[in-house]
Chains A and B, each alone.
Chain A
Amino acid sequence: AQSVAQPEDQVNVAEGNPLTVKCTYSVSGNPYLFWYVQYPNRGLQFLLKYITGDNLVKGSYGFEAEFNKSQTSFHLKKPSALVSDSALYFCAVRARAGKSTFGDGTTLTVKP
């Protein structure tokens, strides 16, 4: 079985500060890991993915994520948060049978 955990329902940061949204996973075999963002009443937008290779993955809108195999984590980061980054963030893993398993989501609020 595969699973994803996002331990924080809510993350609050001040604009200009670094942000981290946490994700841990459990799979058998090599994981394919994804981050998506969802703005209110919209669909999910792909941010970045880890397939293989460099553990630091760079994605859209200045986001990056670090794959840590020993800690089974794939945390999303951004050096300087913007108010417009406020949204719902989902981590997803895709391993067995090609199905994606999503985490429960983390609501990021960036305050001016």
Chain B
Amino acid sequence: DTEVTQTPKHLVMGMTNKKSLKCEQHMGHRAMYWYKQKAKKPPELMFVYSYEKLSINESVPSRFSPECPNSSLLNLHLHALQPEDSALYLCASSPQWAPMNTEAFFGQGTRLTVV
């Protein structure tokens, strides 16, 4: 299994809602990532988990809350989002956070619309 699976594929939520994005991989990777991508722009790193511990938080607003329950799962909890948070949210994994010569495997993303 060489896939990163993200659910749901599409999500529409109101600004007062609470929702979660889920990501799963069974490649034995120990680094997992959340990215935010606006249309035709490069992905922007949000969070990095290494061995289930949060290693990097790129100054992401607290309305985004990551969670790594185990080595195969990564969640992104959403609360009180703003319309400008509408984007494609990508999960990725790689064998390890370091060394730096490993490529990332990306999921297909969750298309989030905040209304």
Specify whether A and B are partners. Answer: yes
Whether B106 contacts A43 by the Cβ 8 Å rule is yes
On whether A99 and B45 interact (CB within 8 A), knowing A43-B90, A88-B40, A94-B100, the answer reads: yes
Please indicate the chain A residues that have their CB under 8 angstroms from the CB of B108 in the complex: 41-43
Please indicate the chain A residues that have their CB under 8 angstroms from the CB of B109 in the complex: 41-43
Whether A44 contacts B90 by the Cβ 8 Å rule is yes
Chain B: interface size category: 20 to 34
Main secondary structure of the interface of B (DSSP, over half): loop
**Interface positions of B (Cβ within 8 A of A):** 4, 6, 40-43, 45, 56, 88, 90, 92, 97-98, 100-101, 103-109, 111
CA of A68 to CA of B45, assembled, Å: 27
Whether B111 contacts A105 by the Cβ 8 Å rule is no
**Interface positions of A (Cβ within 8 A of B):** 32, 34, 36, 41-46, 49, 51, 88, 90, 94-95, 98-100, 102-105, 107
Please indicate the chain A residues that have their CB under 8 angstroms from the CB of B92 in the complex: 43-44
> Across the two chains, which residue of chain A brings its CB closest to B90?
A43
Please indicate the chain B residues that have their CB under 8 angstroms from the CB of A100 in the complex: 45, 104
Q: What would be 25 A-B contacts, judged by CB atoms less than 8 Å apart?
A: A32-B101, A34-B103, A36-B106, A41-B108, A42-B108, A42-B109, A43-B4, A43-B90, A43-B108, A44-B92, A44-B104, A44-B106, A46-B105, A49-B101, A51-B101, A90-B42, A94-B100, A98-B97, A98-B100, A100-B45, A102-B42, A104-B41, A105-B40, A105-B41, A107-B40
